[in-house]
A and B are shown apart, each in its own frame.
Chain A
Amino acid sequence: MRQQTAIAAKVFIQRDYTNGTVCQFQTKFPSELETRIEKQQFEETVRTLNNLYAEAEKLGSQSYIEGCLACLTAYTIFLCMETHYEKVLKKIAKYIQEQNDKIYAPRGLLLTDPIERGLRVIEVTIFEDRSLTR
């Protein structure tokens, strides 16, 4: 794809640590995307992602039960069972795919799943707008 569509720029949405080490991303709208997508749409995407990550890391009864069960089985249960976090990560991957297909790709943008960047950034690749270069 790179050979066919040139990458104009990459924007990185950094992590937001104001609530501690939980995985949250900054919802500030980057200026480079102003011409490509509506502010609200983008913020909505980031907010949904933040909510999904919060759900993954939530300290609730489910995570405690999972943790205690794991401890009792000497953590061997992780060999057969998928953790709650992993399940949510799959949900996130699906959501990002969906967003890319429906909203971002038609605008010449591409969201990269943060897990591929070590949960450090949301990478938004801005592709060259072909229509302008004709």
Chain B
Amino acid sequence: MMKNCEYQQIDPRALTVSPSSAQIHTVKKVQRLRRKWEVFPGKNRFLCDGRFILARQSGVLPLTLGLIIVTCCLFFAFDCPFLVEHLTVFIPVIGGMLFLFVTISLLRTSFTDPGILPRATPDEAADIEKQIDTSGSSTYRPPPRTKEILINQQVVKLKYCFTCKMFRPPRTSHCSLCDNCVERFDHHCPWVGNCVGKRNYRFFYSFIVSLSFLTSFIFGCVITHITLRYQAGKSILQAIQESPASVVELVICFFSIWSILGLSGFHTYLVASNLTTNEDIKGSWSSKRGTEDSGNPYSYNSIITNCCATLCGPMPPSLIDRRGFLPPDEAGPAASTSEIELPPFAAKNGTHMCTQSTKDVLERMVHSSEFQGLCPPGIPKTTPLGLEGSNTAAPSTEPLPSAGCSRHHACHSVVTPCPPFSRSSRRDSLHSINPAFRLASPSPSLSHTTLILGDAPDMGFILPREHPLTTGEDEES
């Protein structure tokens, strides 16, 4: 098995001669050090070399930005000149400040890590498995696991996350759209194109509050503008004809105000009671369960303290260390940990078949000039093979990504050097040498094989590895 590991991390671009293990080792060192964001297992997009994080589906963020910018531009262009003339110069000043604040808050909400929890390392996962499953080998997915703990004298159930392979801390939820566990998960906001969680809730709150002020302000100014024109002796229709942009702004603001003001009010209530949208919707702390069970254990029982804690509390750091460098991959004797997860038959077959196909592959790689282009990009999910059912029977309230998720678009626009071999594959006999096949074939509901390289203690998450030239796609979900 160790022998197979020698074929990891072969950069086809560096290959110029026929492969031999010695040369492969030297080639490894030539490889550029990669940053952790490039192998991040969740469905996120990274910009500026990992400085900014965004959900893969940006949702309607462009629409949100567009609406705000268009409305404000119309306001500054058409209403402000009139109002400055007739009222005061502070109107565009206030408008400008509000616009800036709204935009900055929006961008910070969208591009900040909401509090993503890195996935458990293989050693951790194995340790947890050991603690739970004392009955012996688990060759099939165990039933959903929960753990009960006491928080402030109240019983809270912690659920086990099959994707991230750990018991979720309290108030943490797994977002199926981003495929990450997020701390203090509030909701996934499509308008903002990101999850709202512990780290960016304050930005989200300031965004919606400032947006309410902005829309109310623009609405008020436009009404004033039209009223002033009307009072100057013209009819309403004439006033509107003179400033048609105002009508557009009126319409946009009118419809936005109801929803934004409502949302701000709702979130103000949540902040004051130290609740998340998730908890409120699920009714986690409602009194329906009986008086002794009700009550939010996280609340400080004072509105001011709750507000301060949520909005002005210390800013926790990002746990995923996007810009950290990955340690150069060593030949990881991770067999011990990975075998716990994988069905024995698959593991055995996998290594044998992988050796065979790897050797074939190497020969082809040397001769193939197009290899780099065919190298599959993308960071697959890390649910291990042994937990294949996790996609279809989600134990948590947030359903795990459905089978149809777009693995094809999983590319982070980084052409990774061919990842090392996949340790197990259920359809070993169908090893395909052509990586393009991988992208084209449909994805069954099986989860990815996780090649667990337990050697790198610095990595906060399981590095998924796929043999580029085996059927990665049979594990895709």
Residues of A within 8 A of B (CB): 2, 10-12, 15, 17-21, 56-59, 63-64, 66-68, 70-71, 74-76, 78, 83-86, 89, 112, 115-121, 123, 125
Contacts and interface: CB of A to CB of B under 8 A. Distances in A.
Contact of A117 (B101, B124, B305): B124
Contacts of A76: 104
Contact of B311 (A56, A67, A74): A67
A89 B317 contact: yes
A49 to B, nearest CB: 16
B151 A10 contact: no
B460 A118 contact: yes
B152 to A, nearest CB: 6
B308 interface: yes
Describe A's contact surface by its main secondary structure. Answer: mixed
Interface string B81-104: 000000000000000000011001
A84 B100 CA distance: 26
Given A85-B314, A89-B317, A21 B166 contact: no
A123 to B, nearest CB: 7
Contacts of B319: 115, 118-119
A86 to B, nearest CB: 6
B314 A57 contact: yes
B313 A70 contact: no
B300 to A, nearest CB: 8
Contacts of A63: 312-314
Given A18-B152, A21-B171, 10 more contacts: A11-B127, A17-B170, A19-B152, A20-B297, A59-B305, A59-B314, A63-B313, A85-B315, A117-B460, A118-B118
Contacts of A84: 314
B425 interface: no
A112 B308 CA distance: 32
A124 to B, nearest CB: 11
A75 B314 contact: no
A67 B315 CA distance: 8
A10 B309 contact: no
B169 A10 contact: no
B151 A20 contact: yes
A17 B169 contact: yes
A116 B317 contact: no
Closest 8 CB pairs of A and B: A67-B312, A118-B118, A74-B104, A118-B319, A63-B314, A85-B314, A83-B315, A64-B312
B105 A75 contact: yes
B315 A123 contact: no
A86 B124 CA distance: 25
Q: Interface residues of B toward A: which range?
A: 35 or more
Interface of B: 100-101, 104-105, 108, 117-118, 120-121, 123-124, 127, 149-152, 156, 158, 166, 169-171, 183-184, 202-203, 206, 297-298, 305, 308-309, 311-317, 319-321, 330, 455, 457-458, 460
20 contacts: A17-B151, A20-B170, A21-B170, A21-B298, A59-B308, A59-B313, A63-B312, A63-B313, A66-B312, A66-B315, A67-B314, A71-B202, A74-B100, A74-B101, A75-B104, A83-B317, A116-B460, A118-B319, A118-B460, A121-B124
B127 A10 contact: yes
A85 B316 contact: yes
A123 B123 contact: yes
A53 B150 CA distance: 20
Contacts of A21: 169-171, 183-184, 298
Contacts of A125: 457
Q: Which of B183, B203, B312 has the most A CB atoms < 10 Å from its CB?
A: B312
A46 B162 CA distance: 29
Given A85-B314, A85-B315, A120-B166, A10 B123 contact: yes
A72 to B, nearest CB: 10
B452 to A, nearest CB: 14
A68 B312 CA distance: 6
Contact of A18 (B149, B305, B313, B457): B149
Given A118-B319, A120-B166, A67 B313 contact: yes
Contact of B151 (A18, A64, A117): A18
Given A20-B152, A112-B457, A118-B118, A56 B124 contact: no
Contact of A2 (B105, B108, B206, B330): B330
Contacts of A20: 151-152, 170, 297-298
Contact of A118 (B100, B101, B117, B151): B117
Nearest to A120: B166
Contacts of B183: 21
Contacts of B460: 116-118
A12 B104 contact: no
Contacts of A56: 314
A49 B51 CA distance: 29
Contact of A116 (B311, B315, B457): B457
Contacts of A57: 313-314, 316
Nearest to B105: A74
